[in-house]
């Protein structure tokens, strides 16, 4: 995940190159079978607002701490 790879980069450790069939900068959002198109858009708008306000959880770093990344790129544990 992003947090672990960013932690390695900050420590100067070479990161393994991602294969073409691995996620690079893509995002996956899974909608349930009962969600309408209108509800999907509303939920995505809520997600955007939450990320803007609180940041995006990008996984665990090498010390197993969960990391949030703010819009400014600041990492928060």
What pLDDT is stored for residue 60 in this prediction? 87
What pLDDT is stored for residue 4 in this prediction? 87
Is the pLDDT confidence value at 13 over 90?
Answer: yes
Q: What does the pLDDT look like over 42-61, one tens digit per residue? A: 999 999 999 999 999 888 88
Of the candidates 14, 3, 16, the one whose C-alpha atom is nearest the C-alpha of residue 62 is 3
Reported as a pLDDT band with limits 50, 70 and 90, residue 10 is: confident
> How far apart are alpha carbons 19 and 10 in whole angstroms?
21
What pLDDT is stored for residue 50 in this prediction? 94
Residue 57 β-bridge partners: 68
HSE-up of 56 (CA within 13 Å, CB side)?
12
């Amino acid at each position: 995940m992003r947090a672990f790879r960013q932690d390695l980069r900050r420590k100067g450790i070479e990161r393994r190159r991602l294969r073409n069939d691995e996620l690079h900068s893509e995002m996956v959002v899974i909608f349930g079978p009962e969600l309408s198109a209108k509800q999907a858009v509303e939920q995505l708008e809520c997600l955007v607002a939450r990320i803007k306000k609180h940041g995006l959880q990008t996984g665990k770093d090498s010390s197993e701490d969960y990391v949030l990344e703010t819009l400014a790129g600041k990492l928060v544990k």
